């Protein structure tokens, strides 16, 4: 791979600064979802087994350079120690004498978590001076926070240029999965892009068209493309002012030999509320007061057939208003079909983005996909073909 890993690196007795993402949800001062904590365990365990002194650094929320007690990382310590099965020390600052003393007290195999990086304005400013203060507590640097890799911040950009820098195990797995999806994928490659707005995904669509063999468009985005083709969309969400842009995307896809798969039948209702009466319609059949809220069964069947013929699938965005059943049927059916193919080893299926992850969990199949990224913005920017500072810093 094109980035440095810990393979073959002697960490015994070394202070290893590990950038993690512990921006976990809290309620009444307690972590309510430890997914991000658990994601860091393989790296922490590997470092402990190698005799490293592991020093974890992370942001939490948006204190904007001020010390905000409710945004302290202290509540993370107990659940992390429980998951790890070992003590985790905590320092009430990430730089200065407090951090230096805590780091100096570590023995090989110990783990220390430093306080919220964003309590210092230098973090988000990618300030070299702040990065140098962080670097004083480490001999090596490991980035295990792909979810923050799209931000050029001191802890994942400037710091990575001051110490020998490596990808952690979670970062390695994420980058390997993304490379398998778009970098050097098995072909044919099918993409699914959903969500509401074309305007926010133009860069994404253009980059994917350059890399995919087929691209299925769903959700509210599809309404704009249908309108651009001359179909009536009733009261559906639709960026009608982008009709010409949509036609340009279709022409670009045709020129690049990327087949666009748009809905061929639709599910409509008057309002996107749970339990609303859903009606199946052919294109152009809906009444003025009806809204397109999901892909129809023929559309889903065609999409599943495309999955059968594909070797790789990359998915971002639901096909309909999945939060309001029965308008989740299209997304659930497609997700379950993709998961069954992935589980059988017939399809490399990679998905990411907040709504996508929620939809796959709702369908009960997130664990059966080849890889599901929880990185959000970083995943989207990577799909758009943008350079991620936190990844670039780890390149060989």
**Residues with catalytic function:** 36, 197, 354, 377
Alpha-carbon distance of 396 to 393, in angstroms, equals: 9
Alpha-carbon distance of 322 to 110, in angstroms, equals: 45
Alpha-carbon distance of 65 to 73, in angstroms, equals: 15
Beta strand 165-167 pairing with 140-143: parallel
Alpha-carbon distance of 393 to 107, in angstroms, equals: 29
Which pair of tokens denotes residue 165?
């820098």
Nearest to 256 by CA among 222, 206, 293, 202: 206
Alpha-carbon distance of 56 to 111, in angstroms, equals: 8
Is-contact 237 291, C-beta < 8 A?
Answer: yes
Query: What number of CA atoms fall less than 13 Å from residue 23's CA on the CB side?
Result: 17
Is-contact 320 331, C-beta < 8 A?
Answer: yes
Q: What torsion, rounded to 10 degrees, do the Cα atoms 175, 176, 181, 183 define?
A: 80
Q: What is the enclosing helix (H) or strand (E) of 298? A: helix 297-309
Please name the residue that has the structure tokens 């979810």.
147
Q: What are the φ/ψ torsions at residue 15 (nearest 5 degrees)?
A: -85, 120
């Amino acid at each position: 791979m094109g980035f440095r890993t810990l393979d073959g690196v002697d960490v015994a007795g070394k202070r290893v600064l590990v950038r993690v993402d512990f921006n976990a949800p809290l309620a009444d001062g307690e972590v309510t979802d430890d997914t991000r904590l658990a994601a860091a365990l393989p790296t922490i365990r590997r470092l402990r087994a190698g005799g490293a002194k592991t020093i974890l650094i992370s942001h939490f929320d948006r204190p904007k350079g001020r010390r905000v007690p409710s945004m302290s990382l202290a509540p993370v310590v107990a659940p992390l120690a429980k998951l790890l099965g070992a003590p985790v020390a905590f320092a009430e600052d990430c730089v200065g004498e407090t951090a230096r003393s805590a780091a100096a007290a570590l023995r090989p195999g110990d783990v220390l978590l430093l306080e919220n990086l964003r309590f210092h304005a230098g973090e988000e400013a990618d300030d070299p001076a702040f990065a140098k203060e962080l670097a004083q507590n480490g001999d090596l640097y490991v980035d295990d926070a792909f979810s923050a890799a799209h931000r050029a911040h001191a802890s994942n950009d400037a710091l990575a240029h001051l110490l020998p820098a490596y990808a952690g195990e979670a970062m390695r797995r994420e980058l390997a999965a993304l490379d398998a999806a778009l970098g050097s994928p098995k072909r044919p490659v099918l993409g699914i892009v959903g969500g509401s707005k074309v305007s926010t995904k133009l860069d994404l669509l253009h980059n994917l068209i350059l890399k995919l063999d087929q691209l299925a468009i769903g959700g509210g985005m599809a309404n704009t493309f249908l309108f651009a083709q001359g179909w009536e969309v009733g009261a559906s969400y639709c960026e009608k002012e982008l009709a010409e842009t949509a036609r340009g995307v279709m022409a670009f896809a045709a020129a690049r030999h990327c087949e666009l798969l748009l809905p061929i039948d639709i599910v409509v209702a008057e309002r996107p509320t749970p339990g609303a009466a859903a009606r199946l319609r052919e294109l152009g059949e809906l009444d003025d007061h009806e809204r397109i809220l999901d892909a129809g069964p023929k559309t889903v069947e065609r999409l599943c057939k495309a999955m059968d013929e594909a070797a790789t699938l990359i998915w971002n965005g639901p096909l309909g208003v999945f939060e309001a059943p029965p308008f989740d049927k299209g997304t659930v059916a497609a997700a379950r079909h993709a998961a069954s193919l992935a589980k059988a080893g017939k399809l490399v299926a990679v998905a990411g983005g907040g709504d996508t992850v929620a939809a796959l969990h709702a369908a009960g199949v997130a664990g059966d996909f080849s890889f599901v990224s929880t990185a959000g913005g970083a995943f989207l920017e990577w799909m758009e073909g943008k350079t991620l500072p936190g990844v670039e810093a780890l390149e060989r």
